[in-house]
Amino acid sequence: MRQSRLFTKTRREAPRDELAKNAQLLIRAGYVHKEMAGVYSYLPLGRRVLENIEKVIRREMDAISGQEIRMATLHPSEPWKQSGGWDNVDVLFKIESRTEKEYALGQSEEEIVTPIAGEYAPSYKDLPLALYQIGQKYRDELRAKSGVLRGREFTMKDMYSFHTSQEDFDAYYEVVKEAYIKIFAECGLVAKVTEASGGSFSEKISYEFMVLTDAGEDTIVYCETCNYCSNVEVTNAKEGDPCPKDGSALKQGIASEVGNVFDLGQKYPKALGFTYKDEEGNDQYPIMGCYGMGITRLMGVVVEALADEKGIVWPESIAPFALHLVNAMPNDSEAVQYADELYDYLTARGTAVLYDDRDVRAGEKFADSDLLGIPNRLVVGKEALAGNSLELVNRATGEVERYTREELFQRYGT
């Protein structure tokens, strides 16, 4: 993409009504546009990041036998009344049509997915079954906060699994956990798995995937020598207390929940009438689990966790572009031709390149480049023209490598 045609522009200053680092940087760099408290639109750059996160998630969910579907977000009220959610889920947005028919906006999809699964899984032979989707969620939060981290509309991956036994569910939970850890690692984050309360959602314990960041809204204690980690809401432990697993002193920190898993038991199958026939021909309710992962929140947490004083720093896997090609001499026709050729060559071979071909000074381009956070910056300048030496700057480390055009084509051209 030629930056001269990118309709969003960077801003020197953050809007005064955003204090959260993620919102400040995402708005300054033109990734998102705020609509109202807790609701953002995603512009070309932001949309590309979301799409890349989704790609990583799809790959891992597909690898553990998840089948992707796309459920309605405008929900009938009936299943919500059957499950009890209509009166008990306080974040549920309820709407009434002009003919006074009642609807809900999806804030989670148990009420929708359970009847769907039930329709197509009448036999124990159809189980286990895992269905997931990536889509918008709506929650009537009393207070939206922290930029994209807690909104009233957001994008989430939600998966639901159905099993014939608790053992089968427990085993699948472990599989999902590994997939989650992999996804977060690919996004440049270290996620800790904590025990937490199930809230009003489930009587049973739940698991949360937490990333340490001051922008979070949970306090966790964790052990640095083993993998023990817990939300303080269930342990009452604090900094320095002995780890229950290996006895070493616990650390305490603020973290953001980027994923969770709930053991739902048979609540929804019972409420919504999902039974299957077992080997003896008897009706049984499946064990159900759900697995959430906030995609827009994940994007915000990556910004919070990896950004530096100059701007955003994306990991390669989810960056909006792989390369930021910057022509530092836009008024030199030789440089323009050289950069144009690089851009054409690289894009023709599938490299995602943002090409700063704008007629502005180099300093402004570099400042913008730092703010945008594309992992590698390729600079066309005097050296490139004179000695066929291109500067490749790593955004995260600042390290500079020099490539000839031929070497660069080898690295990116295949």
Partner RNA sequence: CGGGGUGUCGUAUACCGGUAGUACGUCUGCUUUGGGAGCAGAUAGACGGAGUUCAAUUCUCCGCACCCCGACCA
Quote the CA–CA distance of 15 and 291 in Å, as a whole number: 35
State yes or no: residue 18 binds RNA (CB under 7 A). Answer: yes
State yes or no: residue 11 binds RNA (CB under 7 A). Answer: yes
> Smallest distance from the beta carbon of 194 to RNA, in angstroms?
13
Q: Return the number of the residue (40 or 184) whose C-beta is nearest RNA.
A: 40
Q: By rule CB under 7 A, what string of x and - marks binding of each residue 339-368 to RNA?
A: --------------------x-xxxx-xxx
Q: Return the number of the residue (243 or 380) whose C-beta is nearest RNA.
A: 380
Burial of 351 (0-12, 13-18, 19+ CB in 10 A): middle
Quote the CA–CA distance of 259 and 355 in Å, as a whole number: 35
State yes or no: residue 13 binds RNA (CB under 7 A). Answer: yes
> Smallest distance from the beta carbon of 59 to RNA, in angstroms?
25
Q: Is 413 helix (H, G, I), strand (E, B) or coil?
A: coil
Q: Return the number of the residue (18 or 407) whose C-beta is nearest RNA.
A: 18
Q: Return the number of the residue (108 or 164) whose C-beta is nearest RNA.
A: 108
Tokens of 94: 């309820």
Could you tell me if 408 and 392 are in contact, meaning their C-beta atoms sit under 8 angstroms apart? yes
Question: Nearest 5°: CA angle at 15, between 12 and 16?
Answer: 125
Q: Return the number of the residue (52 or 267) whose C-beta is nearest RNA.
A: 267
Identify residue 112 by its one-letter amino acid code.
I
Per-residue DSSP letter, 123: B
> Smallest distance from the beta carbon of 105 to RNA, in angstroms?
11
| Span 48-87, contacts to RNA by CB under 7 A | 83, 85
Could you tell me if 139 and 179 are in contact, meaning their C-beta atoms sit under 8 angstroms apart? no
State yes or no: residue 387 binds RNA (CB under 7 A). Answer: no
Partners of residue 402 on adjacent β-strands: 391
State yes or no: residue 89 binds RNA (CB under 7 A). Answer: yes
Q: Quick one: which of 10, 165, 317, 388 contacts RNA (CB under 7 A)?
A: 10
Q: Quick one: which of 15, 240, 244, 247 contacts RNA (CB under 7 A)?
A: 15
State yes or no: residue 17 binds RNA (CB under 7 A). Answer: yes
Quote the CA–CA distance of 234 and 220 in Å, as a whole number: 10
Could you tell me if 109 and 139 are in contact, meaning their C-beta atoms sit under 8 angstroms apart? no
Tokens of 376: 């590698």
State yes or no: residue 380 binds RNA (CB under 7 A). Answer: yes
Quote the CA–CA distance of 170 and 163 in Å, as a whole number: 10
Q: By rule CB under 7 A, what string of x and - marks binding of each residue 132-171 to RNA?
A: -------x-xxxxxxx--x---------------------
Helices (H) and strands (E) in the chain, counts: 13, 21
Per-residue DSSP letter, 164: S
State yes or no: residue 310 binds RNA (CB under 7 A). Answer: yes
Could you tell me if 102 and 61 are in contact, meaning their C-beta atoms sit under 8 angstroms apart? no
Range in contact with RNA (rule: CB under 7 A) among 128-136, 193-201, 294-302, 406-414: 193-201
State yes or no: residue 329 binds RNA (CB under 7 A). Answer: yes
- Chain residues binding RNA by CB under 7 A are 9-20, 36-38, 83, 85, 89-91, 107-108, 110, 139, 141-147, 150, 199-202, 217-218, 310, 328-331, 359, 361-364, 366-371, 379-384, 391, 393
